[in-house]
Amino acid sequence: MACRRTTTPYQDLPTTNQQEFTQANQLSAIEEDLAQCVLRLFIDQEVLVFTVDELQESRSRLVDASGTLMLIEHDLTQRDINVTGIPTEAVQLPIRNLRHLLVHLINLLSAEIEKSENYNEDDTAYHAPLKSKPGPGRKPYDISKERVEHLRSLFFSWTKIAAILQVSISTLQRRRREFGLSDELEKFSDISDDELDRIYATVSGNFQSGPLTPNIGRRRFIGALRSRGLRVQRWRVSECLHRVDPVGTTLRWRMAIRRRKYYVPTPNSLWHIDSGHKLIRYKLITHVCIDGKTRLLVYVHCCNNNKADTVLSLFEDGVQRMGLPSRVRSDYGMENIYVAQYMLEHRGEGRGSIITGSSVHNCRVEGSHRDIYAGVLTFYSHIFEAIEDEGILDVLNDVHLYSLHHVFIPCINKSLQEFVQQMNNHPVSSEKNKSPLQMWQEGMLENIHSGHTALNPSEIDDFGVDPEGLLSVEEEDYQVNIECPSISLSEQQIKQLPNPLQVDDYCGIGSFLQCVETVNRFQQ
């Protein structure tokens, strides 16, 4: 909050000699520094948006400071108290100017507080802007075809899009006709049962191509269809699952999900990041980031290291796609240190930009680890355990581990990408069947002008924590170091290795054996 400070030239003061005039000029510089110190003391200039409570607290402190300056100014009028040797008028002037500055700040804060207390909740949401036009009449709304197409691609209804843009249904329908947009998304996709079964087989994987995202249920399959631009009735999806996976469908009936209490105000208020160690025996780490409000998976990636620069690279890519979050919650792992520095540099200190704590409190991402393992990693884990039991894989052999990583990391990440698409597009029953992607887009537009940024120090530790849903964590070892296999190959040699995404008949085991043989030949 900027304000103008006014100073009076000290040449106009009734000074008695040159020495007193020099002292008065020195006080001019002191006044500037003192004013800056007062502003930094009472108002955190790093925070651009304040809550009403913070504005009221700042105003109260400024009122106290103004009263103190009035007492000092009154005391200086008593001639026997002034022992500075400087003329009373020279001392009083900078104090008086500083008090006037504080009164000006108090008035500005009072006006801002009144405005914040009387705001309409709709003012925080996105409004379609008005276009300027010559002549009389109402100005038309500036609604682009690209924005409407984007919202339709997320399977929002026309009524919901009108509500998001803050326009009437008739206005939106006129624009739809102007843009030539059809109502195809209102209709269900014309797809046969055989085609639906083939899509399920592609998504879930098979013995020849290897698992992609097996154990997929109805809602995740709906998310997979939506990510492919298909809209299919739920009863048809249920019939498809009964046809192709009757046993898995029956078993999933027993897996009821108990929804727990969790609250953060808006999308991108808090991201949870963590690394999963379910495949640590094979020196594989899964890095995960999830938006706390909407359950949107920002990234899920498997790699063979737990380095801080790897986590930062994934985080920066997520920021480029989804925007910078207000805060990030992580555990004490040193792989998160660069993300912590990034958040402090971009969001500032003293506001909970990076919140660290026990993994037990990082409940959102810990729950995601469970889903990721059940939906993807468990099947790769079974493959690795099987070839290890058969003596094909030796986890202490660098050649075997290098070959395992070369063949399976791309396959795992392909499965994880499909899993992210399914989860981000699946309907959430507790959120009126909105998908996480819909919730994120709607929440960002509804709160585009909100001031949800500040936290009291007492709120930081418990922000984004579900006290009734704390998850038990098997490992409390936050420092996990992974040494990559000591195998170094040239680019030409790497090109001779088997293509990891090429389908073989043995879930990738044939490609693994071929890779081991090739790497052993290079090492001779």
88 or 145, which is more confident = 145
What pLDDT score does 5 carry? 33
29 or 205, which is more confident = 205
Spatial distance between the Cα atoms of 452 and 182, rounded to a whole number of angstroms: 38
The region of weakest confidence among 143-147, 215-219, 332-336, 395-399 is 215-219
- The arithmetic mean of pLDDT across residues 391-412, rounded, is 93
- The arithmetic mean of pLDDT across residues 499-516, rounded, is 84
Topology given in CATH for the domain delimited by 271-447: Nucleotidyltransferase; domain 5 (3.30.420)
Residue 460 has pLDDT above 80, yes or no: no
What pLDDT score does 119 carry? 52
Which tens digit of pLDDT belongs to each residue from 256-304?
Answer: 555 556 678 888 889 999 999 999 999 999 999 999 889 999 999 999 9
Residue 120 has pLDDT above 70, yes or no: no
At 501, the pLDDT band (50, 70, 90 cuts) reads: confident
Nearest to 286 by CA among 387, 361, 365: 365
What pLDDT score does 22 carry? 46
What mean pLDDT, rounded, does the chain reach?
A: 77
Residue 455 has pLDDT above 60, yes or no: no
Chain position carrying tokens 């009821």: 256
**For the chain, what are the domain ranges?**
28-115, 145-186, 193-252, 271-447
The region of weakest confidence among 262-271, 400-409, 459-468 is 459-468
What pLDDT score does 310 carry? 94
| Beta-bridge mates of residue 274 | 288
What pLDDT score does 287 carry? 95
Spatial distance between the Cα atoms of 319 and 268, rounded to a whole number of angstroms: 10
Helix 145-153, helix 169-179: angle, nearest 10: 100
Spatial distance between the Cα atoms of 155 and 485, rounded to a whole number of angstroms: 46
Residue 412 has pLDDT above 70, yes or no: yes
At 173, the pLDDT band (50, 70, 90 cuts) reads: confident
What pLDDT score does 199 carry? 84
Calculate ∠ Cα 137-140-144, nearest 5°: 165
Residue 127 has pLDDT above 80, yes or no: no
5 or 383, which is more confident = 383
Helix 509-523, helix 398-425: angle, nearest 10: 140
The region of weakest confidence among 40-54, 215-229, 380-394, 411-425 is 40-54
